Structure 1
Amino acid sequence: MAKTEAASVNRREEIIAAAIDVFSEIGFYRATTAQVAERAKISQPYIFRFFSTKEALLLAALEVSWERIIGSFEQVVGSASPSRLEADLIEAYESILARHSSEMLLQMQAQTIQADDIREAMRTGFGAVRQMVLDAFRNAGIPNPEERTMLFLARGMLCNISMALNMPELMEGKA
């Protein structure tokens, strides 16, 4: 990769990281690309070299957040013993929440956005995670894999709410 190409990729990633932070703090609709540019320490027009619209930037940010979850879960599925699979997946998600809470807050907001492409990105992300967990539970011989997958996803949503509202008591008594 050429030096300018690498710099361009890095700049794109910096813009996405800034957008994740700004959108999660202010909200997608209230946030402006000027605020994202300020956070990324670039000019606002420079954002549009990489993203045609603010919505395209949101889609890229959501893609990053889903890739993080899926990549983390793939590592667990590839290495966990069947007896530790669910616990290791929970630990992996809790680690993501602790280190990348802005991404999860962004996903929570995106669930309420009615734009078709945002809804599709969220359906695709949730669907991929659901299918990965379901397949892993089936392959591990976990009884009632469909129900356990649903409960696993519900627990993840409760983790998100607990983090967003700063209510750790919602997670008391966790397994």
Structure 2
Amino acid sequence: MSAEDRRESVVRAAITEFARGGYNGTSTEAIARRVGVSQPYLFRLFPNKQAMFLAASERCLTDTRQVFMDAAEGLEGQEALHAMAAAYQRLIVEDADKLLMQMQMYAAIAAAGASGDHGFGESVREGWVRMWDEIHVALGADENETTTFLAYGMLVNTLASLGFPADHRVWSGFHLSARPADPSAG
């Protein structure tokens, strides 16, 4: 396996491990074990744990942006909005680690900022702005639509992360098709 293939394996493993354990609760040993390599080998691919976390965070955002853009391709306005919402719903149900990684990423970057390390999340903030820009264009460059879409998305992230089933009353303000599928129903 090439170094690039190993690096890709590390990023995928890091998403899973950081999603489940958070930045501080995840060891590089756990990532190495998941990939099947030694810790010293990890550090030939990434200079440190922070670089692994940032690579996993950036990949998570890139993958999410791609899901949105693929869903919106050839569509405009409300059609693009509904297609992106449905695609995101599928993503967070089919790949729960992506949802959890997003939540861990926000928490880790907020904690770093609170302790004075504002540079820690710079690349992630840049990735998030790229996502905002791409969604903005897909929704017809309407700031209200973009803000509303992302605000609902963050609410979906929060409710899904907290484990509320699709039939719980906290989802009542969502159109039925915007509610997540109930993972226990099947």
Shared fold per TM-score greater than 0.5: yes
Q: 2:54, 2:124 within 8 Å by CA — same for their partners in 1?
A: no
Residue aligning to 2:32: 37
76, 80, 83: which one pairs with 1:85?
Answer: 80
Identity within the alignment, %: 29
Residue aligning to 1:135: 137
Unaligned runs of 5+ in 2: 176-186
Residue aligning to 1:166: 163
Structure 1: how far apart are the matches of 2:73 and 2:120?
A: 30
CA separation of 1:117 and 1:106: change in aligned 2, threshold 3 A: farther
Alignment RMSD, CA only?
Answer: 1.8
Unaligned runs of 5+ in 1: 140-144
Structure 1: how far apart are the matches of 2:70 and 2:120?
A: 27
Pairwise CA distance, 1:148: 1.6
Q: 2:72, 2:138 within 8 Å by CA — same for their partners in 1?
A: yes
Q: 1:24, 1:106 within 8 Å by CA — same for their partners in 2?
A: yes
Q: 1:37, 1:47 within 8 Å by CA — same for their partners in 2?
A: yes
Pairwise CA distance, 1:12: 1.1
Pairwise CA distance, 1:81: 4.7
Residue aligning to 1:118: 120
Q: Provide, for residues 136-174 of structure 1, a one-character-per-residue CA deviation record: whole Å limited to 9, x for no partner.
A: 2226xxxxx211211110111111112211113333442
Report the AA paired with residue 25 of structure 2: R
Pairwise CA distance, 1:83: 4.2
Q: TM-score, normalized by length of structure 2?
A: 0.80
Residue aligning to 2:179: none
Pairwise CA distance, 1:65: 0.6
**SS at 2:174 equivalent:** coil
**SS at 1:174 equivalent:** coil
144, 147, 166: which one pairs with 1:147?
Answer: 144
Structure 1: how far apart are the matches of 2:36 and 2:146?
A: 42
Pairwise CA distance, 1:50: 0.6
Residue aligning to 1:71: 66
Q: 1:134, 1:149 within 8 Å by CA — same for their partners in 2?
A: yes
Q: TM-score, normalized by length of structure 1?
A: 0.85
Structure 1: how far apart are the matches of 2:95 and 2:118?
A: 26
**SS at 2:73 equivalent:** helix
Q: 1:62, 1:103 within 8 Å by CA — same for their partners in 2?
A: no
Larger RCO of the pair (alpha carbons < 8 Å, separation 6+): 2
